[in-house]
Chains A and B, each alone.
Chain A
Amino acid sequence: MSAFAESQSKLKPMSCLVIQLSDTGDTIRDLMALKAAKQLYPGLELHFVVKEESASAVKRVSWINQVHVLPYRRMLAPVLRGEVSECGVLGDFARWIKPLVQSRWDFVVNWSYSEASSYLAALIPAKVKLGYSRRKDLTACCADDWSLYVQTIANENVEQNIHMTDILTTQLLTELQINAGDPVEVDNAPVTSKNFFELELGERDEIDDRLRSSKRWIGIHLGADKHGSSWSADGWTRLASQILSKNDECNIVLLGDRCDVSAAQRFQEYLRELVPGGDETASRIISLVGKTDFDLLASVIGRCSWLISENHTAIQLACVLGTRVLVIVRDTNGNNWFSNGPYGNHHIVVETQQAEPDAVYAAWSYIPFQESSGGFRTLETHFAELNCSHLLETMSVFKSRIRPVADGGGVVYESLLAKPLSLKEWSATVMGQVARLWYCGWVFPVGFEIERKRINSLLLKDLRKLKDKINILLNLCIQAEQTSKSLSLLATGLRSDRIMSVDDRAKVSEFGNKLKELDGSIKEIGESTDPLKAFSMMSQVMMHHLKGKKLSELADDSARAYQRLAAGVRVMKDWLDHTLTLAKPVALKKAPVMELHP
């Protein structure tokens, strides 16, 4: 335990300020990560900075010590009205920030990962900072290694398969362990719970009572995700009509924001046309679209067996409340849902280009069969029985699972279809390994979670093409590391970084030019080869974050950066070699044959 850690445990509980200026979905995701930290470090005092629109969620969590709401709309209003320049509101912001600046924080954790939040994090002093911040010269920086990864890879939609909740949890727990010592021993207590929030329903108890009384409620949230909606009201109606007509025990609660009210009206109209039985059908649906505040929404979602949605916030809310989720993800480029998919066990992700209601219903209705048959009945068989096998061509279906701690923990999404592994999925898996090597110091065994049956000729062709590029990149990283070390050696012997002999100056210049050339080549190979993009981007961001004042210190740090990159590239190389070997035909042992003589 460090001196700081010892002093913390003896003197006072640790205080941690979390900054989240993004949306409610991200706020709820943070709460899940914080709950894990709170279970392991019960003495952790947690304060939360949040925008007014996301405050309700945090205020309903009993173990958050204080919520600091940023009334940015009110404070910015004079500038937005054109009455004053930005300088005219600095006083208001300073008065709001003052109590935060004057508190003594052990940790300031900026999980917003936004530009604005980096300035706020820089203003508030703390012993340990995580996330985005600003340097003394105002340039942006990442305060820790995991934030480099978030900035360069997770936020840039580079393929990787570690969930943001796992990244945040690991990031915080690692720092807590370094600075505050080992956590308390706890049983594997679940982080999610129906009682995660202390809700205040007031006079709306009757809705809650009705949801309690029914056998099974399916929540449908009409709201769109961050990338826009896949479905019109017609699509949702066709899905709902199938649920109602084929599942007598199911009722539906419609959810959505105020902007979804007209879609909800169209939904009701279409449903009357699609499902015969007027009043009876109507009695099986409650519409709360545009009528829910945070407390009612959380209460209703908590009572549902399933939530079906594209909406980010509703999905995060369902996950934290332990309600099963089916999320529809459009198969769009640049939408890496692995990082922000539903967190927990047994959630379903339907990734689709067409978002056909029949396909979503078939995927949802398959789950009880899959779970009762122990996986023997395949999704393909189920789709065939529903006469919609053709829909499988344009969709993928995944089921979430939390790995046991002994297997590394974290959420993993397993394909329910025997589809070949794409290069995209392969790259995401390998980048997850690279991150574990870089920031956790351990990796899964090579080839973990890659099944031979999912490797096809297309993937092999892609991997063979990639193999040469990986070797070139590895060579470039090794050369850059060696050049940086040579530069460091030379610079260490110099009396000054500015005044030196002409020969030394020429050598420094030669090393500098060589590094510039190698950087250019690393960038070029990353830009031309998708799976290697992460390394070239990481190289650039790591160079931005070099630490040191002297030339020798900077050269040392750059050698460490290239060494880390090379280690990551080696991981990818090992996985590639393993995958190629895995696909090779294996000679079967000759079976004993008894010759039959007439």
Chain B
Amino acid sequence: MTTGRLIQVGEPTKNNDQDVSVEQLLLGFVQCLLAEQGFSAKHATKDEESEDLRRSGWHGEFPA
């Protein structure tokens, strides 16, 4: 039924006061879907990622 364990039992809670951005949630979603396909992400540089992000039309808000 499930495609993967959500939380390793005993995984400590992060005490991170900073709220996560929508972009991180979206990225997490995409990475998990890719992992379900058996795909491990290629290592892109920060510049490559920024360029990919710009080209994708994502500017930190849900596009109109």
Contact (Cβ within 8 A) A94 B58: yes
By beta carbon, the residue of chain B nearest A116 is: B32
Contact (Cβ within 8 A) A139 B14: yes
- From 13 to 32 in chain B, residues with beta carbon under 8 angstroms from any chain A beta carbon are 13-20, 22-32
Interface code A87-123, partner B: CB below 8 Å = 1, 0 otherwise?
1111111110110011000000000111110111011
Q: Chain A residues with Cβ under 8 A from B35's Cβ?
A: 115-116
CB distance from B23 to the nearest CB of A (A): 7
List the count of A-B residue pairs having beta carbons below 8 Å apart: 163
Contact (Cβ within 8 A) A88 B28: no
By beta carbon, the residue of chain A nearest B22 is: A123
Among B1, B9, B28, B30, residue most surrounded by chain A Cβ atoms (within 10 Å): B1
Q: Chain A residues with Cβ under 8 A from B17's Cβ?
A: 137
Q: Chain B residues with Cβ under 8 A from A141's Cβ?
A: 7
CB distance from A513 to the nearest CB of B (A): 16
In this complex, how many residues of chain A approach chain B with their Cβ under 8 Å: the count is: 56
Q: Cβ of A537 < 8 Å from any Cβ of B?
A: yes
Among A76, A88, A123, residue most surrounded by chain B Cβ atoms (within 10 Å): A88
Contact (Cβ within 8 A) A91 B25: no
Q: Which of B3, B23, B57, B58 contacts A116 (CB 8 A)?
A: B3
Q: Chain B residues with Cβ under 8 A from A114's Cβ?
A: 2-4, 6, 32, 36
- From 400 to 414 in chain A, residues with beta carbon under 8 angstroms from any chain B beta carbon are none
Q: Which of A21, A85, A98, A101 contacts B48 (CB 8 A)?
A: A85
CA distance A122 to B27 in the complex (A): 12
Interface code A166-186, partner B: CB below 8 Å = 1, 0 otherwise?
000000000000000000000
CB distance from A20 to the nearest CB of B (A): 10
Q: Chain A residues with Cβ under 8 A from B52's Cβ?
A: 84-85, 87-88
CA distance A89 to B56 in the complex (A): 6
A140-B6, A544-B13 as given contacts; A91 in contact with B63, CB under 8 Å: yes
Contact (Cβ within 8 A) A151 B63: no
Contact (Cβ within 8 A) B6 A119: no
Q: Cβ of A189 < 8 Å from any Cβ of B?
A: no
Contact (Cβ within 8 A) B28 A138: yes
Contact (Cβ within 8 A) B3 A115: yes
Q: Cβ of A368 < 8 Å from any Cβ of B?
A: no
In this complex, how many residues of chain B approach chain A with their Cβ under 8 Å: the count is: 50
CA distance A164 to B29 in the complex (A): 25
CA distance A102 to B22 in the complex (A): 14
Q: Chain A residues with Cβ under 8 A from B18's Cβ?
A: 137
CA distance A89 to B33 in the complex (A): 12
CA distance A136 to B28 in the complex (A): 13
Q: Chain B residues with Cβ under 8 A from A475's Cβ?
A: none
Q: Cβ of A261 < 8 Å from any Cβ of B?
A: no
Contact (Cβ within 8 A) A137 B39: no
CA distance A546 to B57 in the complex (A): 38
Q: Which of B13, B16, B26, B58 contacts A119 (CB 8 A)?
A: B26
Q: Chain A residues with Cβ under 8 A from B20's Cβ?
A: 134-138
Q: Cβ of A82 < 8 Å from any Cβ of B?
A: yes
Q: Cβ of A541 < 8 Å from any Cβ of B?
A: yes
Q: Cβ of A155 < 8 Å from any Cβ of B?
A: yes
CB distance from A31 to the nearest CB of B (A): 15
Contact (Cβ within 8 A) B14 A94: no
Contact (Cβ within 8 A) B29 A116: yes
Q: Which of B6, B41, B63 contacts A94 (CB 8 A)?
A: B63
Q: Chain B residues with Cβ under 8 A from A152's Cβ?
A: 9
A136-B19, A136-B20, A139-B13 as given contacts; A86 in contact with B3, CB under 8 Å: no
Q: Chain B residues with Cβ under 8 A from A91's Cβ?
A: 53, 55-58, 63
Q: Chain A residues with Cβ under 8 A from B57's Cβ?
A: 91-92, 94-95
Among A82, A119, A135, residue most surrounded by chain B Cβ atoms (within 10 Å): A119
CB distance from A44 to the nearest CB of B (A): 24
Q: Cβ of A159 < 8 Å from any Cβ of B?
A: no
Contact (Cβ within 8 A) B44 A155: no
Q: Chain A residues with Cβ under 8 A from B58's Cβ?
A: 87, 90-91, 94
Interface code A416-442, partner B: CB below 8 Å = 1, 0 otherwise?
000000000000000000000000000
Q: A87-B44, A87-B56, A118-B6 are in contact. List 5 more A-B contacts (CB 8 A).
A: A85-B42, A86-B30, A101-B62, A113-B2, A151-B6
Listed from nearest, the 7 A-B pairs whose CB atoms lie closest are: A91-B56, A91-B57, A88-B52, A116-B32, A85-B44, A119-B29, A137-B16
Instruction: List 11 contacting pairs A-B, 8 Å CB cutoff, sorted by A.
Output: A72-B33, A91-B55, A92-B57, A94-B57, A114-B3, A114-B4, A115-B35, A116-B32, A116-B33, A123-B22, A137-B17
Interface residues of A (CB under 8 A from B): 21-22, 26, 72, 76, 79-80, 82, 84-95, 97-98, 101-102, 112-116, 118-120, 122-123, 132, 134-142, 151-152, 155-156, 164, 340, 523, 537, 540-541, 544, 546
